[in-house]
Structure 1
Amino acid sequence: MSVTQTTTTPTRRWADADRLLTIVCVGLPLLGLVLFFLYPMLIVFMRSVAVGDGYGLGNYSKVLGSAGFWRATWHSLFMGSATTALSVFLGFIIAHGLYRCAFPGKWLIRSVIVLPLLAPSLVQALGLIFLLGRNGVISRALGIEIDIYGFWGLLIANTLYALPQAVMIIGAALVLLDARTYEAAEVMGASPTRQFRDLTLPAARFGILNAAFVCFTITITDFGNAAVIGGDYSVLATEIYSQVVGQRNFNMGAVVGIMLLLPTVVSYAIERQAMKRQETGQQVGQVRFQPAFTPARDLPMALLSLLICAGIVAVIGIVVYASFVTLWPYNMALSVKHYDITLAGGYSSLWMTIVISLMAAAGGTLAVFLLALGLRRLPRAVAQPIQILAAMPAAVPGMVLGLAYILTFNSTATPLYLLYGTAALIAIVNFYHYHTQAFLTLMTGFRQLPRAFEEAAGCLGAGLARTAVDIVAPFVAPMLISVFFFLFMRSMVTLSAVVFLTTPHLSVAAVTIMRLDDAGLTSQAAAFSTCVMAVVCLALLGMKATLAMMGRRNRMNGAS
């Protein structure tokens, strides 16, 4: 009897400790989702129906009866549709060139295509102004005045901003196509055109659909490009900013925010279904397609891809170049005087953004790791609703989330008011803005972890904490590194989610760039943008170096 007690008591103690740790792992991130996502979104809805001392639909009636709202809505939908069509078309060209064609220099295309992701969204607008504005390089070279402000300028800027997403999503679909299918088609005498029409396009349709909805969501919710180059072409994002910052009408801003939320939620839901259909269609044991050089196909695709990349380099490169020009466009001598920022605070917002980004990256990576670890130990019926909640922030535009935070945390009715005006709150909104991408990335790593590893550790007497440290964390370490740097880089360049949360004493880099441009200090805005891009590029190189070292160490351990 005593032997039974001595063996079962430690087992029960380990089981109780594991159960408690599982509750903590799930409970803390879940509490964060409730406090910093669900609760603020509820406040936005409540403010949208707040009328006087009660509630009603008066705010909606007023907004829906406004010609300005419907003009901004039509502009947003039309801009989103046009940008989506152009981004997906150009993205398919580049993705097809990278994964279905054979030509040298693909590394250069892959390097260039990510550049828009390394800069605040308004950098595309700044670059177009330096190229095509009244004093732009191309405008002066051609001797004509191009009106870049408005629809066409915003369309080009948004397309450049959304293009990397389209390339990555469509490329992920094309890389999954089985080479054996094409070999069978060739044996049957199908021409390359017939293979493209009957095999490539149908197999990639869900990737194309997914890319379309992602591009539409990015475009309809973007604020930076619209604020800089939109001119009189109002969109819903600038309408929210006008209501909140310009008119201090928070209730009307909440209504417009809810209206902006509707198309993005619908788009996100359809995009999720497309992703599921694409994953369902994947086959086990696929053979990766290795294209053979075909001049008639590959040379035009290479040329088109390089031309598109040249446009990206021109738009972003001109911003860097303009930051060193003494007086654009009258004195083109190089100088560093624009790096002496004259706006109040100077570079303080850049250093603060780095600190905030590190906070968001470190805290966010830990939170999603704990949540993924805890969900692995929960029954499916309990875990699935939590996973759905964890994926929901992607459906909320940054402008709406930022508006929700200012309505929630700028009120003394809640103890969370203490967070308002702090770097911690901006770090939190940055994390929850990109929570879905971080969570899904880490869950992908957890799905690749064999259950047998954890079961073996449990048989050897290791509890959940020991298993997490010695087994789980090392296995998913590459994903953890990727999530950390992803959150850091996105926090460095985001604008829409934080534009409402800055104060005279606390600002971030993207908002400083916007203020410099608003003040007419365009060259200083270019200089500040260059500094931000330099930090993000260093972070990207750091991520690649870290992952390379980890891979080299794993190969050495495997060889030994």
Structure 2
Amino acid sequence: MLKTNNIMKLIFLPILLFFLFFLIMPLLYMFWQSFKVGNTVTLQNYLDALKNIEIREAFFNSFKVSFGASILTTILAFLLAYSVHFTTMHRQTKRLVQIGITLPMLLPTITYGFVLIYTFGNQGIVTRLLGQPLFTIYGYNGLMIGYVLYTMPVAFILMQNSMQYIDKRFLLVSMLMHDTALRRFYHTIFRPMIGTIGGAFILTFILSFTDFGIPASVGGNYRVIATELYQAMLGSIVHFERGAVISVFMLIPAVLGVMMLTFLERFNFQYKQVGQSELVQHRLRDGLFTMYAIVCVGIILIIFSTMFLVPFTKGYPYDFGFTLEHVQNVLAERDLTKVYMNSLLVAMLTAVFGVVITFMSALLNARTPLKGRKGLDIASMITNTVPGMVLGLSYLFFFNGSSLKGTFLIIIACNIMHFFTTPYLMAKNSLQKMDPTWEVTAALLKDSWLKTVVRIILPNIKSTIYQMFSYYFLNAMVTVSGVIFLVSTKTMLVSTRIKELQHFAKYTDIFVLSIFILCTNLIVKLGCDYIATRKEKVKEISK
């Protein structure tokens, strides 16, 4: 029988090779390519890129719109999280808000743009109701709205999770001390949330700056860095070196963001014990925040309702008669159903293998004394920093000409790397909270380490594993930027096929496929949430 330390090394080695082969080497190779002109190593590519007016304009535009969208999103998400946690809003209304705000997460970002066009465009629903368009949806306005819709769920979840751990007893103490409302708000709510607010702003900025789906649909003539990278690599004239340089430029905000997050950690603090107390009812405050939350959810539902209206009308916007013809046409096309099945296959395999690799990585880091395990934290930080388009492009460079190019394996590996950080941290945090003496006790009873993992640790982390599975599956179904450079005709996915259908103006097909993705993701998410919640309840009852 292998010794415990050898078993750990046997598990650690393939994980290490996986990160080396599918993360470190492709990124280093892409970075090396950015310095090459033919067979010569030079800085000329960077000098040409800096002199290029289009690239400079795209970088500035991306920074401008992402910065504005991040500020707006952070404010809106903070107020929504406040509404849920610090007002006496009805429980069912809170539940509706939590579900409604996270709805956009279940769709590809490229769909957001088409939804916005059919809502606010010249023939959009809102435009037809008002008689004229409120604003031009293409360019800056469309990007701003799209980025807010895209990043709002992430920022809201981040804020909401942090507000759960704010001790509400301090609000009562502040009231007894006759503090002003502004002083009470600052010291008991805003001050403990500064680190999270900063983190939400940085995260939403990076997500907006590196997104490709929204600019691809409503960007118009407004240049952004993500579309410049796409044009450099998949445009009429391919510029590999320029694409590599743009990818390096896209890493700059992400690296700065990580540095700022490290700085913001000093503002985080913990209570020795989080106490809960009943919130004091304030009719005006509660009424205003309830109305605000309902309006936000209502706007999201109205915008995305067009996705359900257009495919079931005979000829939008001229004939609103109900029909299932468009859905039947999509189901009848073998090509589109094959693409949907490809997406299901990739999402399922990404979730299964992603959970295995992520769980074993977190397990080795949190529950073993293995040397080198902290390198997994570094890998987690790298995957969190590298945008999906940059990672996909590095794969295109590194695996070009190999038998792996254009295969499902490359797409799955890219998805696992791209979305590794969040499931890894979920598993690591759960494992660290468990009793650290379990392995020692099991060893004294002559149980092997693997038996301890299977019999004791796994049953206690099942709910987290279901959440990890859900996270991987949902993101693999909706990702565009991470796989746009990797798919082939045989491995086409729904999210990338939507981009292709755009060129043929088949918007009804786009919406039908988007509904398929939404329904699939809803089933998986609700199923995983139900199982995870049930496991937690059973665990509490057993205690």
TM score, norm. by length of structure 2: 0.96
Match of 1:202 in 2: 191
Shift of 1:110: 0.6
Q: 1:86 aligns with which of 62, 69, 72?
A: 72
Provide the C-alpha distance between the structure 2 equivalents of 1:171 and 1:552, rounded to a whole number of angstroms. 21
Checking the alignment, whether the CA contact within 8 Å between 1:217 and 1:268 is kept in structure 2 is no
* Aligned-pair CA distance for 1:544: 1.6
The answer (yes or no) to whether the contact 1:162–1:219 under 8 Å persists in 2 is yes
**Contact 2:463–2:533, Cα closer than 8 Å, also in 1:** no
Question: Residue 236 of structure 1 is aligned with which of 217, 221, 225?
Answer: 225
* Counterpart among 74, 81, 84 of residue 95 in structure 1: 81
Q: 2:306 aligns with which of 318, 326, 345?
A: 318
Distance 1:323 1:268 in 2: 42
CA distance in 1, matches of 2:85, 2:225: 37
- How many equivalent pairs are there? 537
Distance in structure 1 (CA, Å) of the matches to 2:312 and 2:255: 42
The DSSP-based 3-state class of the residue aligned with 1:420 is coil
Match for residue 201 of structure 2 among 196, 199, 212: 212
Are residue 187 (structure 1) and residue 176 (structure 2) matched? yes
Post-superposition CA distance 1:166-206 (Å, at most 9, x none): 11112223222212322221121113333113332212111
CA distance in 1, matches of 2:489, 2:203: 34
Give the whole-Å Cα distance in 2 for the aligned partners of 1:326 and 1:272: 54
- The answer for the alignment partner of 2:139 in structure 1 is 150
**Structure 1 CA distance for aligned equivalents of residues 227 and 255 of structure 2:** 19
Which runs of structure 2 are paired with 1:34-53 in the superposition (5 Å)? 34-53=20-39
Match of residue 128, structure 2, among 140, 151, 161: 140
- The CA deviation at 1:552 is 4.2
Distance 1:120 1:272 in 2: 30
Partner amino acid, structure 2, of 1:521? K
Partner Cα distance (1:81, 1:285) in 2: 36
Quickly say closer, same or farther: Cα 1:273–1:470, change in 2 above 3 A: farther
Instruction: Give me the whole-angstrom Cα distance separating, in 2, the residues matched to 1:552 and 1:108.
Output: 22
1:128 matched to 2:113? The reply is: no
Shift of residue 123 of structure 1? 2.1
Q: Distance in 1 between matches of 2:459 and 2:150?
A: 35
Deviations 1:378-435 (A, max 9, x none): 4487332332223320100011011111111113xxxxx2221111111111111001
Offset, 1:481: 1.1
Cα-Cα RMSD: 1.7
Q: After superposition, what is the alpha-carbon deviation per residue over 1:497-525, rounded to whole angstroms, capped at 9, x for unaligned?
A: 00111112220110111211221011111
* Aligned-pair CA distance for 1:528: 0.8
Whether the 8 Å contact between 2:340 and 2:494 is mirrored in structure 1 is yes
CA distance in 1 between counterparts of 2:122 and 2:347 reads: 36
Aligned ranges for residues 243-322 of structure 1 at < 5 Å? 243-246=232-235, 247-274=237-264, 276-277=265-266, 280-322=268-310
CA distance in 2, matches of 1:504, 1:473: 39
Corresponding letter in the other structure for 2:303? V
* Separation in structure 2 between the aligned mates of residue 511 and residue 101 of structure 1, nearest angstrom: 42
Query: In the aligned structure 1, how far is the partner of 2:406 from the partner of 2:26?
Result: 16
Alpha carbons 2:5, 2:370 under 8 Å: kept: no
Once residues 262 and 312 of structure 2 are traced to their aligned partners in structure 1, the CA distance between those partners, rounded to angstroms, is 44
Query: 1:385 — aligned with what?
Result: 375
Q: Distance in 2 between matches of 1:235 and 1:380?
A: 44
- 1:418 is paired with a residue whose SS is coil
Structure 1 position 526 matched with structure 2 position 516: no
Helix, strand or coil: the match of 1:101?
coil
Shift of 1:343: 7.3
Paired residue type of 1:249: H
Name the counterpart of 1:461: 446
Aligned with 1:243: secondary structure?
helix
Determine if the alignment matches structure 1 residue 477 to structure 2 residue 448: no
Cα pair 2:229 2:243 within 8 Å, conserved: yes
CA distance in 1, matches of 2:251, 2:523: 34
1:497 maps onto 2:482 in alignment: yes
Runs of at least 5 residues in structure 1 that lack an aligned partner in the other structure: 1-12, 412-416
Instruction: Write the letter of the residue equivalent to 2:233.
Output: V
Q: Is the 8 A contact 1:214 1:271 kept in 2?
A: no
Write the distance in 1 (CA, Å) between the matches of 2:405 and 2:423: 25
| Counterpart-to-counterpart distance in 1, 2:173 and 2:541 | 40
Instruction: From 527, 530, 535, give the equivalent of 1:545.
Output: 530
Question: Are 1:506 and 2:491 an aligned pair?
Answer: yes
- Separation of aligned partners in 1, 2:209 and 2:308: 27
| Superimposed CA distance per residue, residues 341-372 of structure 1 (whole angstroms, 9 cap, x where no aligned partner) | 38781221111111111111111111111112
Contact 2:74 / 2:200 at 8 angstroms: preserved in 1?
A: yes
Q: What residue number does 2:357 align with? A: 367
Task: Indicate if the aligned counterparts of 1:172 and 1:207 stay in contact, CA closer than 8 A.
Answer: no
Residue 403 (structure 1) aligned to one of 393, 403, 418: 393
Alignment correspondent of 1:355:
345
Amino acid at match of 2:249: M
Give, in whole Å, the separation in 2 of the partners of 1:539 and 1:53.
49
Amino acid at match of 1:326: K
Displacement of 1:17 after TM fit? Answer: 2.1
CA distance in 2, matches of 1:490, 1:401: 15
What are the superposed Cα offsets for residues 230-285 of structure 1, whole Å, 9 maximum, x if unpaired?
A: 101111110000000002211110100100111112113322443x335x501121
Amino acid aligned to 2:218:
I
| Rounded Cα–Cα distance in structure 2 between residues aligned with 1:51 and 1:451 | 54
The amino acid of 2:340's aligned partner reads L
- Greater CA drift, 338-347 or 313-322: 338-347
What is the alpha-carbon distance in structure 1 between the residues aligned to residue 55 and residue 167 of structure 2? 48
Instruction: Give the corresponding residue for 2:13.
Output: 27
Asked whether the equivalents of residues 404 and 410 of structure 2 are also in contact (C-alpha less than 8 Å), the reply is yes
* Aligned partner of 2:100 among 112, 115, 119: 112
Question: In structure 1, what residue type is equivalent to 2:479?
Answer: T
173, 183, 189: which one aligns with 2:162: 173
- Alignment deviations for residues 444-466 of structure 1 (CA, whole Å, 9 cap, x no partner): 11111111222211111111111
Distance 1:169 1:399 in 2: 24
Cα distance change, pair 233–171 in 1 and its aligned pair in 2 (3 A): same
CA contact (8 A) 1:323 1:530 kept: no
Q: Secondary structure at the match of 1:333?
A: strand
